[in-house]
A and B are shown apart, each in its own frame.
Chain A
C-alpha cells in the first residue's frame, strides 16, 4: 500500500483510466496512511473520510460505465485550509475561524472536481498564511524527514502531505514563498504560478497583490498536470489574465537544449547560504549544463532588499485586512501573528508607498534578467529545514527582529514581488538527511519553460525517488 500511495498522480490517473486500479482502493490507501502517520505529522486539519470514500465509489462507477473521464479522475488530493471547500470548514489555521464552514467551492476546487480529483481533506498552515506561528491550534506540523524539524510554511501541511504520501497531490498558496518553502524543506515539488494565472477567489487573502494558489506534489509532471487543471481565466476576477493559459504538458519532455539559465549570484554565493545548499545547487546547475543548457552567472544587486520590501507590502496589506479582528478579537490570534500584524498596522503609509516603488525597481531587475535568460536558478532556501524549536523563541531586541524578519536575505520573494513563476524541486540532501531545494524562476506566464527545465533536471537525478522515513 505504501508503493501505491507514493505513485504519482499522473500514473494513478492512467491506471484508473485503464481499470487496473480502483479509485476506492487508492483513497483507502491514503486514508490508512493518514490514520497511521498524521497523529505525528499533523498535515491535516480536517479529513473528509466519508465524503472521499463516497466520491471514490462514484468515480469507480463512472469508470465501469465508460464515462468520459477527467485528467485527474480518481486521484486523491488535499488543499491548504485557506481555500474554500463546500460543506467543509476552512480555518486558515486560526482559532478565529475554527467553526467557519465554507458555503462555496473556490474555483480551483470546482476545476479539480470537474477533472475527477477526489478531495481527502484540508491541510494545516501557519495562521492566516503568515509565518512564525508559535502555537498551532490544530497541531504542530512536522517534517517527515525528521519530525523535530520545521516543514516550512505557510503551506506546511501541503508540503508534508505531498512528501509523506498522505495525498497524491496537494494545493498550497504562495504569497512570499509559502509553496516553495515547504516544498524545499520537505523534499517535494512546489510551483508558484504567475500572479493572475490561477483564480484566487475563495482563498482567504493575505496580500492582494501577491497571493497565488499552486500545486505541491512529488513530481514535476504532477505539478504540471495540476496546474493545467486549475489555471485559466475567472470572469469574476478582473485582476486575472483573461485568456486561456499556455499548454504546460505537451512540451514537458522537450529537454533543456538551448535554454539559457542564469545562476543568481546573490542567492547562491550569499553569505547566508549554507555550504551544503550552495554545493547542491551548483551541482544542479552543472547537471543542467550537461543536459544542454547554457549556464552563466547573473547578478541581481537589489535582491538583498527584497525581504524588507516584501514584508512592508505583505504585512501592511495583511494588517489592513485584519484591522477589525485586531480591534475586537486580538486575544484569539496566535501571539506571533498578533504581534506581527500589530507592528505592521503602525507602519506609516509613506513606507508602504516607498516599498511599492522599490518593488517596481526589483521587478525591472528580475524581468531584465529574464530578457537575457530563460530561467533563473538559485537555492529555494538558504539552508535545510531548521529545528522547530528555533522558530519558537521570542523576539528579544530590535536587532533580533531585524535579523530574523527584515534584513535577512529572502530567496523566494524576488519572484513574488515581480509576479513571475518559480518552482522548487529537490536537488540533494544534507549529511543529516534533510532535503535541499532548487529554485527555478521564469518569465511571466512561461510556466511551460520552468516546468520543462525542472522535469529535465528531475529525470536526470535520483532525488525525487527518495522517501521519507515517516
Chain B
C-alpha cells in the first residue's frame, strides 16, 4: 500500500460525518494526527508477502 497524502482535519470531519460521527473541534486535531499516523504505520505492511497469508481467526 503506497502511503496516501495525509488527510486534513476538514477531510476527517467530512469522512466522520458520513458515518454519523461528529468530532468536536477540540478532538479533531488529535483524531486527524492519529488516523494519519496509523495509515502511515500500516503502509509499512506493504513490504510483507501478504498474499501468502489468508486472514484466519485464532484457532481454539
Report which A residues bind B (CB closer than 8 A): 195-196, 209-210, 239-242, 302, 305, 308-309, 311-312, 315, 323, 326-327, 330, 335, 338-340, 342-347, 350-351, 353-361, 364, 394-402, 405-407, 419, 444
Contacting pair B44 A308 (CB below 8 A): yes
A311 to B41, CA, bound (A): 10
CB distance from A335 to the nearest CB of B (A): 7
CB distance from A136 to the nearest CB of B (A): 19
Residue of chain B at shortest CB distance from A347: B38
Contacting pair A354 B50 (CB below 8 A): yes
User: Which of B1, B33, B46, B53 has a CB less than 8 Å from the CB of A361?
Assistant: B53
Contacting pair B59 A354 (CB below 8 A): no
CB distance from B36 to the nearest CB of A (A): 5
Query: 23 A-B Cβ contacts within 8 A?
Result: A308-B41, A312-B38, A312-B42, A339-B34, A342-B16, A342-B21, A343-B38, A346-B12, A346-B16, A347-B35, A354-B45, A357-B48, A357-B50, A361-B48, A395-B33, A398-B6, A398-B33, A398-B36, A402-B40, A406-B37, A407-B41, A419-B58, A419-B59
A239 to B16, CA, bound (A): 33
A348 to B19, CA, bound (A): 12
Report which B residues bind A (CB closer than 8 A): 1, 6, 12, 15-16, 19-23, 26-27, 30-31, 33-42, 44-46, 48-60
The dominant DSSP class at the B interface is helix
Residues of A with C-beta under 8 A to B41: 308, 311, 402, 406-407
Contacting pair A364 B53 (CB below 8 A): yes
Given contacts A339-B27, A356-B55, contact A305 B37 (CB under 8 A): no
Residues of A with C-beta under 8 A to B23: 339, 342
Residues of B with C-beta under 8 A to A364: 53
Contacting pair A342 B37 (CB below 8 A): no
The dominant DSSP class at the A interface is helix
Contacting pair B15 A400 (CB below 8 A): no
A405 to B37, CA, bound (A): 9
CB distance from B35 to the nearest CB of A (A): 4
Given contacts A347-B38, A351-B39, A354-B1, contact A400 B60 (CB under 8 A): no
Residues of A with C-beta under 8 A to B37: 398-399, 401-402, 405-407
User: Which of B26, B31, B45, B51 has a CB less than 8 Å from the CB of A355?
Assistant: B45
Residues of A with C-beta under 8 A to B45: 305, 308-309, 354-355, 357-358
Contacting pair A327 B55 (CB below 8 A): no
Contacting pair B60 A355 (CB below 8 A): no
